Structures are given as structure tokens and as C-alpha cells.
Amino acid sequence: MDLIIIKIGGSVITKKESNKPKISAGNINRIANLLKNFRQPYVLVHGVGSFGHPLVKKTGIDKSVISKEQILAFAKTQKLQNELNCTVCEILIKKGMPAFPAQASSHAILEKGRLVSMETQAMIGLLRLKMVPVVYGVPAFDSAWGSAILSGDQITPYVAKKMNAEKIIEVSDVEGVFTANPKIDKNARLIPEINAKNYKEIERCLSGSTAADVTGGMRQKYIELLEAAKTGIVCQIVDLKHFKDALENKPCGTIIDLRQ
């Protein structure tokens, strides 16, 4: 099974700059239209953007649940992110895709913010049935802190490695990895290829997100993807404009291939 893991950033499917949950319905429909004719088996992972980051940052549930307010925020954030996932799946289903919500937090365990274990056998079974598992970032149980954020950026390489995927495509709000933050530096240059020779130099060029983000922005995305790339999985970071090209296996965005 030539499996691909597709990660759609929360900044793509929501209005991430908003202080209230707000979807980008146009972008979700655009993604659905691109995926409806995609025949390769894939798992879809999505971020949560404004459906999670503002509330998490305000209440601190990415590092603990101690107070009553935090416990309620833990539950509320879970609910909001379930709602976003249902919306994404509903749009995919309307386009004829058998999208299957897959709530990672019901069986994932973290320790000090890092994913320790997450079951994938059900997703393997769903893929055999020609379903599309749709997983999403979410607050989850942490054995050390009580709660932490299980981001889509962590889920993606974990699932890719455990399910022997051949490739990861990550759709972000920027075209790929740049020498500086392209949102604030007009001299930032796209790095089209990251390989075994230059990957150690790239990290120092990266910065965090300009929006409320408790999962690390592009720098963290790159660090997480490296874990998969080191096992031989090819990773590609693109923006929505280049998503179709990435699905067609065309060179675009930033390709991370440590096999060469």
C-alpha cells in the first residue's frame, strides 16, 4: 500500500488570526475538490487553528490541568475541535469521499508534551475498506502533566512511521521552508530542497508563527518532519496554491529527502 499522509494546517482551514473559532469554508471546499479524484490511499490530518490555539494559550492547558477553569477548558477545546473535524468530514462526504472522523485523543498518550503511543490498527483497517481516516490535533492525556496538546504536526510523522507511509505532504499557509519568515521579511528565499547535506543548517533560519500558536510554527513543523525523513519518508511542504502539483508528485514547495 503506497500510503501518503496529508497534513492540512489549521491556518489553511480556519481563520487562524481570529480570536474566535472561524472556518475557511472556501479553502476546505477547494481541498475537497482536489482530493475527490485522488486515488492513492491516504490519511488526512488537520490542524485546528482558531478552534484551539487562542483558548489553549489563554488557559495554559498545553502544560497542565489543575484548576476547575483548566479542566473545563480542556473539555471545551476538545468539543470545539471535534466540531471542526465534523465540518471538514461533512464537506468531504458531500464531495463523495468516505471521510471517517478519527479522534486521536481517545487512545493517545503523551509524556511531557511528546507523543508516546497512539493506536493505528483501526486506521489501517479503514484504509482497507477504502475509507479516508481524518485525524486532527487535539488536547490529550499527558502522563506527566495531566494534559498537553497533541498537535497535527506530531501526529503526522508518528502515523507515517508506524503505518509505513512513503510520503508526507504538508499544506501550510506559506509555500515551504524559507531562509527567513516570508511574512515579515521580503528578502526571505524559498529553500526548494533539503537533503542529507544541508538539513542541519536549516533549523537556525526558522522562526515561530506570527499568530497565536502553542505548537511551534514552521520551525516545529520542520523538526517533526525530520523525524520521518530520517527513516526514509519523503516529505513535502507546500501552500494551497501548489497542493494539486504535490498530489501529482511534481517538484514544488520544499521537498525534504534525506535519502540523497
Q: Contact, 132 vs 42, CB < 8 A?
A: yes
Segments in 117-170 forming alpha helices (H)? 121-128, 152-162
Distances (CA, A) of 146 to 53, 81, 113: 18, 19, 10
Superfamily of domain 7-256: Acetylglutamate kinase-like (3.40.1160.10)
CA dihedral over 52, 53, 58, 63, signed as positive or negative: positive
Q: Contact, 136 vs 47, CB < 8 A?
A: yes
pTM, full prediction: 0.91
Taking the C-alpha atoms of residue 21 and residue 11, their distance in angstroms, rounded to an integer, is 12
Taking the C-alpha atoms of residue 111 and residue 152, their distance in angstroms, rounded to an integer, is 16
pLDDT score recorded for residue 63: 76
Q: Contact, 73 vs 230, CB < 8 A?
A: no
- Exposure string for 183-209, b = 16+ CB within 10 A, e = fewer: eeeeeeeebeebeeeebeebeebbeeb
Can you give the pLDDT of all 260 residues of the chain as single tens digits? 599 999 999 889 988 777 788 899 999 999 999 999 999 999 999 998 877 776 777 777 777 777 888 888 888 888 888 999 999 999 999 999 999 999 999 899 999 999 999 999 999 999 999 999 999 998 889 999 888 889 999 999 999 999 999 999 999 989 998 888 888 888 888 999 999 998 888 877 665 556 644 455 778 888 899 999 999 999 999 999 999 999 999 999 999 999 87
* 3-state secondary structure (DSSP) of residue 149: strand
